[in-house]
Amino acid sequence: MSSPSKRRVLLLGSTGSIGQSTLKVARSMPDEIEIVGLAANRSVELLAEQVHETGVKQVAIHDTTQENALRRLIPQDVSIHSGPEGLIELARMEGADIALISIVGTAGLHPALAAIETGKDLAIASKEILVMAGEVVTQAATQHGVKLLPVDSEHNAIFQCLDGHGNPGEVSKLILTASGGPFRQTPAAELVNVTPEQALQHPTWDMGPKITIDSATLFNKGLEMIEARWLFGIGMERIDVVVHPQSVVHSMVEFCDGSVLAQLSNTDMCFPIQYALTWPRRIKGDLKALDLAKLAKLEFEPPRFEDFPALHLARDAGLSGGTLPAVYNAANEVAVQAFRNGLISFPDIWHCVKRVMDTHINLPSSSLDTILKADREARLAATDFCTSS
């Protein structure tokens, strides 16, 4: 018997870092969370293990060439949805209360909208969903009466700080914390020598390669500024960033009376995932509270805006709105891959994004087609930059 309060969770992107942490959270509270559907890109063996563990009856695989391999590994009574359309079909499934989407890149956009349109709350772990399509997604959520729950640790922290203090007139600003990445203290002149291996060493968080490099360039924080603008309906000019190397304070809200509320926990994505899935309740799981007395210190410092231009570019994109945030995201994605492939230098990631943004003709972002077209054009322009530089 499932308890009446049990959350039925559809997990899209189950084999990645966030997906695996979500399954860990689910495992720790079987009376609270039930996984009812799984989707992955192409890691069939891990996906098959997860199907056996959770007993789901519906699964989606993005890469159609892996469908047969998956079929051989899972019970016959499990339905397989395949390809980009398969992910959308799964997102529309009945019998799920919430869809947690942690799919890298733009592939999560249509499934996210499909989940909203079929009345599911959305736990958002993929930044692209709100960075690219913040207007479309927030409007759809309002229209269908579903809740958007942030899984990113910073936004989840702000969400927790705002709980019960949501009156927009009382909020002065949102303060996103940034670890500063591995090059926080590297002199600007030396950034040109940074190798992909060095950029993949994150000081505090264990994450996938794309987001780890984004943390080193601060593009990750830039994307989070734009994401925050949509999630909390607050102007870009009231979204601040402070560097906090220990990554213990996950973000803060400053109120009109001068008080600041912060959310603190150990650096483990299971914390925000659990809160997003059990909200509005707090449930005792397996996670260990901070031992404050053992923390030697908590430091804060301003970001190096001039040496790490990703934040200025994000503010420009967020203030302009339209398709520019999608362009910021797409150009960065191409540039990160080019950097990993040794085609461009570390600072070229910024140069590439700036160039592509400067040449983009901005359009209103009220349709997904317009956004996706801007995304494709930005990728072409960024590829051009990376192969000709």
Which residues inside 39-68 make contact with Mg ion, applying CB under 5 A? none
Of the listed pieces 81-89, 145-153, 299-307, 338-346, which binds Mg ion according to CB under 5 A? 145-153
Q: How far is the CB of 101 from Mg ion (least distance, A)?
A: 15
Q: How far is the CB of 121 from Mg ion (least distance, A)?
A: 20
Q: How far is the CB of 180 from Mg ion (least distance, A)?
A: 13
Of the listed pieces 86-94, 152-160, 162-170, 266-274, which binds Mg ion according to CB under 5 A? 152-160
Q: How far is the CB of 207 from Mg ion (least distance, A)?
A: 9
Which residues inside 204-223 make contact with Mg ion, applying CB under 5 A? none
> Which one, 106 or 153, has the nearer CB to Mg ion?
153
Of the listed pieces 18-26, 115-123, 147-155, 285-293, which binds Mg ion according to CB under 5 A? 147-155
> Which one, 161 or 356, has the nearer CB to Mg ion?
161
Q: Does 227 bind Mg ion (CB under 5 A)?
A: no
Of the listed pieces 54-62, 73-81, 89-97, 149-157, which binds Mg ion according to CB under 5 A? 149-157
Gyration radius of the chain over CA positions:
20
Q: How far is the CB of 201 from Mg ion (least distance, A)?
A: 17
Of the listed pieces 12-20, 114-122, 153-161, 342-350, which binds Mg ion according to CB under 5 A? 153-161
> Which one, 106 or 179, has the nearer CB to Mg ion?
179
User: Which of 34, 121, 128, 152: binder of Mg ion (CB under 5 A)?
Assistant: 152
Q: How far is the CB of 69 from Mg ion (least distance, A)?
A: 33
> Which one, 58 or 153, has the nearer CB to Mg ion?
153
> Which one, 152 or 316, has the nearer CB to Mg ion?
152
> Which one, 250 or 355, has the nearer CB to Mg ion?
250
Of the listed pieces 132-140, 148-156, 185-193, 349-357, which binds Mg ion according to CB under 5 A? 148-156
SS3 track for the chain: CCCCCCEEEEEECCCCHHHHHHHHHHHHCCCCEEEEEEEECCCHHHHHHHHHHHCCCEEEECCHHHHHHHHHHCCCCCEEEEHHHHHHHHHCCCCCCEEEECCCHHHHHHHHHHHHHCCCEEEECCHHHHHHHHHHHHHHHHHHCCCEEECCHHHHHHHHHHCCCCCHHHEEEEEEEECCCCCCCCCHHHHHHCCHHHHCCCCCCCCCHHHHHHHHHCHHHHHHHHHHHHHCCCCHHHEEEEECCCCCEEEEEEECCCCEEEEECCCCCHHHHHHHHHCCCCCCCCCCCCCHHHCCCCCCECCCCCCCCHHHHHHHHHHHCCCHHHHHHHHHHHHHHHHHCCCCCCCHHHHHHHHHHHHCCCCCCCCHHHHHHHHHHHHHHHHHHHHHC
Q: Point out which residues bind Mg ion (CB under 5 A).
A: 152-154
